[in-house]
Amino acid sequence: MIYIVLDLEATCWNGKRLAPNEIIEIGAIAINEAGETEGEFNTFVKPSLAPQLSDFCTKLTSITQDMVDDAPLYPAAHQAFLDWIHNFDQEYWLCSWGFYDKSQFKHDCKLHGLDKDWLKKHISVKHQYHKIKPTKRPIGMKGALALEDIKLDGTHHRGIDDARNIAKIFVRYLNEWTFK
């Protein structure tokens, strides 16, 4: 079994939304059953519906227009991600901080006419963490890192950096996650 701890960044606006959100970065860490990192995947994605990033989006994510202009469109990025997952030649579970990432993948797959079956095995680390470390309500990744006294590395709201940080929490409680 391989666990794909992932985080996405997507187009966003402060105020009126110009188009549906689209993925602009896929970051993922592959973790084996012993809690060891087997590999990393990171790609930027050029949005199709609203290819010009908002200033708000760039400030939030630190992803610049040049980064997405030179990136593949979603179908090619999607295929590269799936190829990377399948290179491990094992069953896998997708693990993200909440359900947003799975929903955004579904949206982008639908937009481009791509299969969504690969998303069936997914858990929300955020919601399961809330059961492991009861809080009033599920908390954000940054709050969970603070609760665990784990340093946030990299830039918050960058897919690969957030995936690495989520992976730290995931590995700490490796034997406590429920997969069904």
The residues that are catalytic are 9, 157
Residues 6+ positions from 42 with CB-CB distance below 8 Å: 25, 26, 27, 28, 159, 160
Coil, strand or helix at 1: coil
What one-letter code names the amino acid at 130?
H
Look at residues 77, 117, 96 and name the one whose alpha carbon lies nearest to residue 31. 96
Question: Counting every residue, how long is the chain?
Answer: 180
What one-letter code names the amino acid at 30?
A
Report the distance separating Cα 42 and Cα 80, nearest Å. Answer: 10
DSSP assignment of 71-97: SPBHHHHHHHHHHHHHHT-S-EEEEES
